[in-house]
Structure 1
Amino acid sequence: MNRTDFLKTSIYAGAGIVSIPVLASKNVTETKEIQDPKIVRADEGLRVNVLGDQQTFKLTGEDTDGRLTLIEEVNPPGTMIPPHVHTNEDEVFKVLEGELEVTVGSKTVILKAGDLAFAPKNIPHSWKVIGDKDCKTILSAFPSGIELMFQELGELPPGPPNFEKVTEICGRFGISFIQ
């Protein structure tokens, strides 16, 4: 018996239901090819310095069929990203070590190990590492694509950033800074 037939006849057989119209109307075999699994060790991933934000790409759109990007950030106190808005992706910041002051919309909170913040697209947000030790954070972005912007920003020459160039690159990826 194939999966579709099984689902049509077996799921609720005990309750006397022989078929499920929603499942019966979907062709289960038409789903996209299954994504290859990936194991990423603690010391693995592409390391990128994005204007002082130390990032390690753990999962990219290439790994997840465009569904998400997962980045580990380890930054010293004082590292910050100014207020900005994304039009393409939602972000989740989860602090593993240290303290991160996060502003999302009009709410500012201090995240400590185990805490997280959700920054939906189209809502201004910013963050700053505070306290006296490095902050290790996992940044998840849904859908993926932002890692391409981070790579491009990471290729800018060292030294004080050219804000006009940074704004142009970010703008191409649907991100604008709030004055």
Structure 2
Amino acid sequence: MQRRNFIQSTLVAFPLVATSAKTDAKTRTKKGFKVESGKDRFNQPIKYRGVNPNDVKISAKDTDGQLAIFEYVGYQKIGPQLHVHFDQDEIFYVVEGEFLFQLDTERMTLKAGDTIFLPREVPHTWLQLSDKGKLIYFLQPSGKMEEFFKRMNELQGPPSEALIQEIHQAHGMKVLGPPISL
């Protein structure tokens, strides 16, 4: 009798679980869309370090957090601090220019047409070597990168090291060291 009750209660609960999964999927984009060159998905461009466009092309909101795609156009020979993502893999495709990537302790130069895979939990950074550069990069799953870039963009003046770590931690990352220098 206990087995029958278990089976019946499981069968009754199954449609509730299936329905809740469908409810979550309602946030996913149901229609295709186009994002024009030089534009942000939501017309809310984010400037990396106040100068370089870092536009959302495919939002976490479009994919239920499964994927985010950004386009970065660099006009400065800069890059991020050495950092690690706890839950996201990153893939960078170089559209224009030349970049030096560091993956753990290995360094590689990438040029237009090259792709690099940066697994989660592996320290990495990059530096733009050319006067102008352009990257398309993917985060899978998307994590909180859109929110991270918006938060960093809101800062007034240089943040303290403690604030940098706090913001990174809140968005699933940790800073491990300085950026690459020439």
State the TM bucket, normalised to the shorter chain.
0.7 to 0.9
1:38 matched to 2:33:
yes
3-state SS of the aligned residue for 1:88?
coil
Query: Is this contact kept in 1: 2:29–2:61, CA < 8 A?
Result: no
- The alignment's TM-score, normalised by the length of structure 1, stands at 0.75
Query: Is this contact kept in 2: 1:38–1:63, CA < 8 A?
Result: no
Aligned to 2:154: 155
Aligned to 2:59: 60
Q: What amino acid is the match of 1:174? A: G
RMSD: 2.1
Q: What amino acid is the match of 1:42? A: S
Shift of 1:38: 2.0
Give CA deviations for 1:70-128 in whole Å, capped at 9, x if unaligned: 11101124211121111021101111000111011222111100101111110000000
3-state SS of the aligned residue for 1:41?
coil
Query: Is this contact kept in 1: 2:73–2:135, CA < 8 A?
Result: yes
Q: What amino acid is the match of 1:114? A: G
State the alpha-carbon separation in 2 of the partners of residues 38 and 167 from structure 1: 35
Q: How does 1:49-88 map to 2 (within 5 A)?
A: 49-52=47-50, 53-88=52-87
Q: How does 1:1-179 map to 2 (within 5 A)?
A: 35-36=29-30, 37-45=32-40, 46-52=44-50, 53-131=52-130, 133-144=131-142, 145-157=144-156, 159-179=157-177
Give CA deviations for 1:32-68 in whole Å, capped at 9, x if unaligned: 5674222111132131123355311111111222111
- Distance verdict in 2 for CA 1:51–1:77, change over 3 Å: closer
3-state SS of the aligned residue for 2:81?
strand
State the alpha-carbon separation in 2 of the partners of residues 89 and 79 from structure 1: 22
Shift of 1:166: 1.9
Number of residue pairs matched by the alignment? 149
State the alpha-carbon separation in 2 of the partners of residues 92 and 105 from structure 1: 15
Query: Is this contact kept in 2: 1:50–1:151, CA < 8 A?
Result: no
Q: What amino acid is the match of 1:167? A: Q
Structure 1 unaligned segments of length 5 or more: list them. Answer: 1-26
- The alignment's TM-score, normalised by the length of structure 2, stands at 0.74
State the alpha-carbon separation in 1 of the partners of residues 75 and 49 from structure 2: 13
Structure 2 unaligned segments of length 5 or more: list them. Answer: 1-17, 178-182
State the alpha-carbon separation in 2 of the partners of residues 178 and 104 from structure 1: 12
Higher CA-based Rg: 1
Q: Which moved more, 1:120-129 or 1:58-67?
A: 58-67
Percent of aligned pairs with the same residue?
30
